[in-house]
Amino acid sequence: MPDVRIKTPNLDAIFEKWKQSTVRKDKKKMEKQFGTKGAIFSLDAVSAAEYVKDTQKEAAIYFAIKKTVGVAPKGAEEKIVLAPRVVRETFYSFKGEGKLNKENWKGDEKVPTYETIQAVSCKKCSGKGYIEEKCKTCKGTGKIEENLTVLTGEEQKKENKPFSYPCGVCFGTGTSKVKCNDCEGHKSLFKYQILPVPFKTVVTGIPVLHSSALTKYEKEIERDLHQIIEEVEGIRFNDFKDLESKAEASLGYWNKNIKKTINSAGSDYKSHSKDKEAQITTQLYLFPMIQMFCETKRGSKFEIYSLGSANKFMIYSNF
């Protein structure tokens, strides 16, 4: 059985690392909190022995997952066509299908979507399909007026008599219906949308951290580990059962919070393993954490956290 023990960094090493990084960031504050009036400030005089009041050994578990999630379609396009053109288009439907695997899809990424077909009443003819115009044959009178020649009397005198009859084009109404050339008589136009195919998208590298120290840096640590996992040393495990059984021996210490944290990390890990859309992409890391409760010369309290082994660790502080 390989040795799973890991060496935790000692307090002086953690404190030293914190001192160096803090003085680089804010020397004035260091001087104000740790300096002596009238004396030249020296970093050497700031020691863990003097300012660390208490320590607590904790642990953190880290792994990363990749998750498949669907995205809402965006970038819709709209088309308005004449009724007979609708059937010439190829429509698609994804209703009740969920999200699609892009690898399996043959076709365009944006397609006309069946569910979006909608009738739009023609504006030009107000949805009637025709436009009423004055009848051209009777000029809107509804009547055809003609002259009738009548020969009158013994002399057969030619006389014109009016003769009118209903117009046969408009059936005497004076108006005629002309097919609307916008909707071609179909009363409506049809609109539909060309929508992106609802593909599943993959979100890679979601970091997951469970720490028994319950610091306010959880999110920060999670993000840092995700980026610089090689710069921190932890004990790696391939499965959670292994981690569970060896955690105490690996750390060389134990407490109730660590036990609780391992339990909750375990159920989280399990649910990610069962989730068909998720995939655990890293090994499991167990990190020793040291929590140091400090107080400055001026009486300000602050904390320093370390995460990692004596070889490679990161620090966080609320100084």
Number of residues that bind Zn ion (CB under 5 A): 12
- Does 59 bind Zn ion (CB under 5 A)? Our answer is no
Q: How would you classify residue 299: left for phi > 0, otherwise alpha for psi between -120 and 50, otherwise beta?
A: left
- Does 170 bind Zn ion (CB under 5 A)? Our answer is yes
CA distance 281 to 65: 5
Q: Which of 180, 208, 213, 247 binds Zn ion (CB under 5 A)?
A: 180
| CA end-to-end distance (rounded Å), the chain | 42
Q: Which stretch binds Zn ion (CB under 5 A): 162-170, 218-226, 238-246, 250-258?
A: 162-170
- Does 167 bind Zn ion (CB under 5 A)? Our answer is yes
- Does 189 bind Zn ion (CB under 5 A)? Our answer is no
179 has which bridge partners?
130
Shortest Å, Cβ 112 to Zn ion: 23
Shortest Å, Cβ 184 to Zn ion: 8
Q: Which phi and psi (to 5°) does residue 190 adopt?
A: -125, 135
Q: Is-contact 124 171, C-beta < 8 A?
A: no
Shortest Å, Cβ 182 to Zn ion: 4
Shortest Å, Cβ 164 to Zn ion: 12
CA distance 13 to 19: 10
- Does 169 bind Zn ion (CB under 5 A)? Our answer is yes
9 vs 142, beta carbon nearer Zn ion: 142
CA distance 268 to 48: 37
165 vs 254, beta carbon nearer Zn ion: 165
180 vs 290, beta carbon nearer Zn ion: 180
One DSSP character per residue, 257-271 reads: HHHHHHHHHHHHHHH
CA distance 302 to 52: 10
Other beta carbons within 10 angstroms of residue 32's beta carbon come to: 14
- Does 31 bind Zn ion (CB under 5 A)? Our answer is no
- Does 182 bind Zn ion (CB under 5 A)? Our answer is yes
Q: Which stretch binds Zn ion (CB under 5 A): 181-189, 222-230, 241-249, 271-279?
A: 181-189
Q: Which of 183, 195, 262, 304 binds Zn ion (CB under 5 A)?
A: 183
Identify the CA nearest to 130 among candidates 81, 181, 84. 181
Identify the CA nearest to 120 among candidates 93, 83, 91. 83
How buried is 283 (Cβ within 10 angstroms: 0-12 exposed, 13-18 middle, 19+ buried)? middle
CA distance 8 to 6: 6
Q: Which stretch binds Zn ion (CB under 5 A): 19-27, 157-165, 182-190, 254-262?
A: 182-190
Site string for Zn ion, 99-138 (x = CB under 5 A): -----------------------x-xx---------x-xx
124 vs 301, beta carbon nearer Zn ion: 124
User: Interface residues with Zn ion (CB under 5 A)?
Assistant: 122, 124-125, 135, 137-138, 167, 169-170, 180, 182-183
